[in-house]
Every structure is written in C-alpha cells, then in structure tokens.
C-alpha cells in the first residue's frame, strides 16, 4: 500500500514566488493542453496499473490548482481515479479564487474528504504583492462553502517572510486563520526560487537597490515570526507534529506522514515524483513531452535515480527528524538491519553533546528549539 499523488498542472495565473510546474490557464487558448493532460493521465494510469500492482493508502491531488479545472474537468479527473480511493484520506488542494459550490459538491461526491486551501495571508496588500488571484474575503468565503459542503478536515497554508510583511501582519493572519477553525495548518517560509518573478525582483545586480521595494524579512525576522506562530498554535491546541505542520488531535496529514516515514508513493501527471522500491523518478515537467511519450506507449520519465542503501538510510533520518516524534531506533534497525548510532556515530556524538539532538525512549529527536534551522543542522548527515 502506498500514497498516490496526482499533479494537476494548471493555475489561473502564476503566483510571483511559485516554482511548481503549472501552466497558467490565462495562456491556454482553446482546450488543447487540458485535453492533452487528460489523455496523458488516462494512459499513465493504464500503464501503471499494468506494471505496478498498486494498493492506495492515501490520495493527494495537488498542483498547480486542481480547482482551476472547470467542473466537468474536475469530474473527469475524479472519475479516472475513483478506482483507488474508498475509506482513505483523500485530499485535494484548492485555491480560494477558484472554489465554487458546484466544484466542492463534485469533490465530495467522488470521495475527497480533506481540502488543503492555499490561503497564504489575510492581508490584501500582501496577497497582491505575491500575485495571488484572491483576497482575504475570498478565503473566508471559500472556508464557509467548504464547511457548508460538509468537509470536516481542512488545512490552511500560510506563508511568512513575505515582502512587506512584519510581525504584526503575520500575527493578524495567523489569528484570523485560527478564527476559521481549520483542523490543520501548514506554515511555510517564503523561499526565493530562481527564475520566479519575485526572485528576479530581489536578486542582487550591479548598481541595483531595493529601497523602492517592500522590505524582505531576513532570516532572524522569519525565525521570530515562526517562533511566535508555533507558540500561538500550540496554545490553541494544535500539535506541532512536523517542522511546518500543525494539527488538531487525529488530524495530521496521513499522506505526508507516510512520506516522512519513508513509505513508497506513486506520483502521476507531468512533473510528479515517485519513490517505489528504492527507485525514484520524476515525470517530464512539460505537458507536450508528457503527452507525446504516453501517446507512444512509454512512461513519461525524466529523471530516474536508484537509491543506494546509504542514501535511503540518510533520507529516512532527515525526513524522520522533521517530525516531532523523531526516528525510532528500533524501526530503523528493523528496516536496514543496522543501528543508526553506529552509522552516524561522529555526527551524532557532536549533536547529542551540543543538545541539538536527543535520544529518549529509544527515539532520536531534534531539539524543538532548533527546529526552524533544522535544514542547516541536518545537512551534516549528508
Ligand atoms: S496557485 Fe499554487 S501552484 Fe499555482 S502558481 Fe500559485 S502557488 Fe503555484
């Protein structure tokens, strides 16, 4: 049993910070690319069902923006997947600017039981700054419609470190999100991804000054925003179960938990990544190439990587340490036949001494005080 991820590579328009593979529907003239996508996806599902007998333990439809599809498109997508999800966590991402009662009814009818809503901020000024297609009122309305349709498992994504964001506007967004009562919250720091309009705007260049641009919070300011939010959400009853993720009891995202625990997952659609049986691959990040390969009866693979035992162990550790539950020494030994204390002896000795890591109840954990800088700390295991 593995998680299934389906990538929908369309958005109404691109946000200024986004490096995910998606095609802005504003640039799509006629239904060609959307039709190509559906034909490709149907062929990929057929090939995968033949090649990889596959039991699905969770479904995550992401993108892109699944709800950017017209109602008929959304229904067509869900009909293709219906073989795979009964009585499992089935999530669809959604953008507040694309939600309608009809689309929500379709999602619910076909078994989607969790919505992950990209809210990002409740400041209209900041939403505009980062190129979102919606305002704060649209988020409130989307949540109202989601609840009205009977969804009782809702995640809100929020971003911090945005241009022009200060502690106060961040706090207001977190507080407003809490007032909407989501079961789950994901908090992401803005990262300037090469090639995105926002990265270009703030990239250093000869003689370039940024004084005319909104202030971009530095690492310390981001850490301060993050820390404040962690304390606020924990006080409000959310468990901080992963670096960026918070959930009410029992509402952790099962799909992502499985991935962080090193379980296999299959990704379908252009740009989707899969890891099955120690092999990782990525599908072509181009609708035309994706469609063409599948029309030729081939899988649309772009990169294939055979993970060595050592790479799998290190990845297991790095992902596991992002979880507040950490990594079970026992489970690690069962999976790899070796004690992780023997494999990473030197790094562990240093970090245990510095109290960045601890071993309690047979689990290796990251000290919660250093969780925001987890990535830098975990690099040492590489
Ligand atoms: S809606 Fe999501 S996937 Fe689409 S451009 Fe914005 S951040 Fe990227």
247 and 368 in a single domain? The answer is no
> Which of 29-38, 68-77, 292-301 is predicted least confidently?
29-38
Q: Is the pLDDT of residue 138 over 80?
A: yes
Does the CB atom of residue 64 touch ligand 1 within 6 A? Answer: yes
pLDDT number for residue 28: 67
Residue partners of 320: CB distance under 8 A and separation at least 6: 260, 261, 262, 326, 327, 364
Kindly state the percentage of the chain with pLDDT values over 90: 85
250 and 317 in a single domain? The answer is no
Q: Is residue 277 included in any domain, yes or no?
A: no
Kindly state the percentage of the chain with pLDDT values over 70: 95
What is the chain's mean pLDDT, rounded?
93
pLDDT number for residue 30: 65
Q: Is residue 79 included in any domain, yes or no?
A: yes
pLDDT number for residue 55: 76
Question: Distance from CA of residue 277 to its chain's centroid?
Answer: 22
201 and 143 in a single domain? The answer is yes
170 and 315 in a single domain? The answer is no
321-346 burial string, b = 16+ CB within 10 Å, else e? bbbeebbbbeebeeeeeeebeebbee
Q: Is residue 207 included in any domain, yes or no?
A: yes
pLDDT tens digit sequence for 304-316: 999 999 999 999 9
Residue scoring higher pLDDT (377 or 38): 38
Does the CB atom of residue 118 touch ligand 1 within 6 A? Answer: yes
**What's the whole-number mean pLDDT along residues 43-66?**
86
Binning pLDDT at 50, 70 and 90, where does residue 240 land?
A: very high
Residue scoring higher pLDDT (76 or 382): 76
Residue that terminates a domain, selected from 225, 260, 295: 260
pLDDT number for residue 54: 64
CATH number at residue 221: 3.80.30.20
Q: Is residue 230 included in any domain, yes or no?
A: yes
> Which residue, by CA, sits nearest to atom 2 of ligand 1?
64
Whether residue 104 contacts residue 143, with contact meaning beta carbons closer than 8 Å, is answered with no
CA of 361 to the centre of ligand 1 (A): 41
pTM for the model stands at 0.94
Q: Is the pLDDT of residue 50 over 90?
A: no
CA of 313 to the centre of ligand 1 (A): 32
71 and 204 in a single domain? The answer is yes
Residue that terminates a domain, selected from 260, 291, 317: 260
Q: Is residue 136 included in any domain, yes or no?
A: yes
CA of 257 to the centre of ligand 1 (A): 23
Does the CB atom of residue 43 touch ligand 1 within 6 A? Answer: no
User: Ligand 1, closest atom to CA 95?
Assistant: 1
CATH number at residue 329: 1.10.10
Angle at 366 between CA 375 and CA 311, to 5 degrees: 55
Binning pLDDT at 50, 70 and 90, where does residue 122 land?
A: very high
User: Ligand 1, closest atom to CA 14?
Assistant: 5
- Of the residues 15, 17, 131, 155, which should be mutated to test ligand 1's pocket, given the most ligand atoms within 8 Å of the CB? 15
Q: Is the pLDDT of residue 119 over 80?
A: yes
pLDDT tens digit sequence for 151-175: 999 999 999 999 999 999 999 999 9
120 and 6 in a single domain? The answer is yes
Binning pLDDT at 50, 70 and 90, where does residue 25 land?
A: confident
Domain limits for position 322: 309-381
Q: Is residue 172 included in any domain, yes or no?
A: yes
25 and 95 in a single domain? The answer is yes
Q: Is the pLDDT of residue 22 over 70?
A: yes
pLDDT number for residue 370: 85
**What's the whole-number mean pLDDT along residues 115-138?**
98
pLDDT tens digit sequence for 244-292: 999 999 999 999 999 999 999 999 999 999 999 999 999 999 999 999 9
> Which residue, by CA, sits nearest to atom 5 of ligand 1?
14
Binning pLDDT at 50, 70 and 90, where does residue 33 land?
A: confident
245 and 354 in a single domain? The answer is no
198 and 346 in a single domain? The answer is no
CA of 26 to the centre of ligand 1 (A): 13
> Which of 70-74, 83-87, 116-120, 290-294 is predicted least confidently?
83-87
356 and 236 in a single domain? The answer is no
Does the CB atom of residue 120 touch ligand 1 within 6 A? Answer: no
Residue that terminates a domain, selected from 235, 260, 285: 260
pLDDT tens digit sequence for 198-234: 999 998 776 667 778 899 999 999 999 999 999 999 9
Binning pLDDT at 50, 70 and 90, where does residue 52 land?
A: low
338 and 226 in a single domain? The answer is no
**What's the whole-number mean pLDDT along residues 312-329?**
94
Domain count, the chain: 2
User: Ligand 1, closest atom to CA 118?
Assistant: 2
- Of the residues 18, 93, 188, which should be mutated to test ligand 1's pocket, given the most ligand atoms within 8 Å of the CB? 18
């Amino acid at each position: 049993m593995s998680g299934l991820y389906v990538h929908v590579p369309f958005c109404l328009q691109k946000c200024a910070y986004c490096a995910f593979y998606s095609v802005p529907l504003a640039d799509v003239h006629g239904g060609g690319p959307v039709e190509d996508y559906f034909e490709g996806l149907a062929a990929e599902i057929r090939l995968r069902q033949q090649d990889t007998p596959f039991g699905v333990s969770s479904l995550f439809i992401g993108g892109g923006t699944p709800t950017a599809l017209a109602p008929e498109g959304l229904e067509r997508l869900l009909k293709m997947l219906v073989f795979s999800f009964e009585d499992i966590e089935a999530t669809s991402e959604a953008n507040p600017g694309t939600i309608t009662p009809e689309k929500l009814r379709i999602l619910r009818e076909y078994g989607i039981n969790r919505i992950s809503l990209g809210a990002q901020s409740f400041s209209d000024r900041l939403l505009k700054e980062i190129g979102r297609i919606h305002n704060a009122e649209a988020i409130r309305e989307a949540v109202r419609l989601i609840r009205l349709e009977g969804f009782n498992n809702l995640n809100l994504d929020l971003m911090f470190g945005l241009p022009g964001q200060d502690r106060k506007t961040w706090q207001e967004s977190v507080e407003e999100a809490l007032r909407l009562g989501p079961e789950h919250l994901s908090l992401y720091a803005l990262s300037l991804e090469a090639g995105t309009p926002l990265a270009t705007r703030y990239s250093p260049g000869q003689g370039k000054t940024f004084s005319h641009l909104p202030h971009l919070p530095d690492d310390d300011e981001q850490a301060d925003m993050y820390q404040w939010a962690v304390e606020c959400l924990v006080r409000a009853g959310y468990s901080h179960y992963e670096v960026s993720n918070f959930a009410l009891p029992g509402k952790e995202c099962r799909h992502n938990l499985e991935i962080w625990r090193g379980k296999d997952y299959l990704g379908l659609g252009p740009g989707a990544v899969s890891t099955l049986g120690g092999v990782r691959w990525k599908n072509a990040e181009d609708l035309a190439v994706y469609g063409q390969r599948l029309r030729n009866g081939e899988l649309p693979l772009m990169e294939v990587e055979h993970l060595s035992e050592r790479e799998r162990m290190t990845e297991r550790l790095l992902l596991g340490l992002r979880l507040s539950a950490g990594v079970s020494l026992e489970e690690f030994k069962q999976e790899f036949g070796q004690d992780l204390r023997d494999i990473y002896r030197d790094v562990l000795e240093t970090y245990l001494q510095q109290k960045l890591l601890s071993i309690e109840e047979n689990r290796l954990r990251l000290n919660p005080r250093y969780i925001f800088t987890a990535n830098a700390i975990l690099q040492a295991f590489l």
